[in-house]
Structure 1
C-alpha cells in the first residue's frame, strides 16, 4: 500500500485556508445603513462618531469653502476644513474637503495627514508644492490654476505661494477626518513640551535656539 506523506494534510489545510476569506475581508464590507450622521455631543467614539437619531438637510450642508479665509497670520495661509466636524453627514462616508488660501509668500508649513491621501485642485495663483518620501526624496512641482497634485497618505508635504498675488486650492481627502500634524508645532509646541535635550540632539542646535522656536510657536495669550 502506498504511503501517504505526512506533509499532505498540512498542504491541503494551507490550500483551504488560502481560498477562505480572511478576517480583513470577511463580514459586511459596506455600510449597514444609508446614513450615520455624527452625534458630535456623544462621548461614544468607535472609529468615528455615534449616529444621531434625528437628522436634517443641514447635516449634509456647508458653505464655508466659498469665500477666502483670513491669511493674516505667521505663515500667511489658512485652512478652512469641511470634515465631519463641520459636516456631520460625512460620518462613515470616508471623504472630506478643505479650502486653503495663501497670501503672497504664504506657506502651508510641512505637515502630514495620518489618515488620508490629499489631492489639491488650484483655484487661483501658483504654488510650489512637494512631499518627501520615506527614502528622503523630495517630489516637487510648481502648479497653477486648474492643476491637480497628490500628496500620498502619511508623507510630509507643503505648499508655498512664491507669487505676487494670492493663491487658493480645494483639497480632497479619502477620510472624513484626515487629521493634521504640523512638524514644527508637533515638536516645538507640544503639551507637555518635548524635552529640550531631545530637540537639541535631533536638530544639532543649542538650547537657546530651541527655546526661541518654542516661544514663537507658543499659543498666544488672550
Structure 2
C-alpha cells in the first residue's frame, strides 16, 4: 500500500488541484494524508473531502511530513508538496520501480523559457548527484524511512538532508522520468534570475556547513 503525505500551510488556492488527481489512486487503495501546519485560510476545509485524513501538526515541512508518516499505514511513503500536480498513474510507476527509494522528474508550471532550463538543470543535477528535492516527489519504503529516523527536524534543506541519509544507507535513488508539475509562483513572484541565484547560493552555503535555521531566515 502507498501512503501519500502532503504538508500544507495556507494552500487553499492550490490544494484541491493537488488532491484531485489522487482520487483515482485512492480508489486503487492508496492513502492520502494532509498534514496541516496551522493554516489560517480554507486549506483544511477544502482538503477534507479529498483526503483520507487531514491532521494538525506543528509547523515546519519536516515536522509535518514526519507527523504524517507516523500516522500512515502504507508500506511505501510518497511525499508531495501542496502545489504539485501528479500524473494519475504515478502510483503504478512507483510500484513498478521496485526501489527502496526514488523520485520523479519535475516540470515548472510557468511558460517562461528560463523555467524549462531550471527544471532541466534540477533533473540533471539530481541524476548526477543522487540527491532529490521535495519538488520531485520523494518516495521511500517505510522501513527504510524509519531506520534513518525520518526527515531531520530542520527548517530548510530537509529534503537534501534526507536524500543524503537515504543515499548513504540504501544507495542511489530510482530516477523516474515522468514529470510532476510544480508551481512556478515562487520564481515568477520573486524574479526568475534572482530566485535561481538565491537557490544555488543556499545550496552552496548548506554544503559548506551553514546553519539551516540561518538559511531559512534568508530564504524567507
Return the TM-score normalized by structure 1.
Answer: 0.24
Normalised by the length of structure 2, the TM-score is: 0.25
Greater strand content: 1
Whichever structure has more helix as a proportion of its residues is 2
Larger relative contact order (CA 8 Å, sep ≥ 6): 2
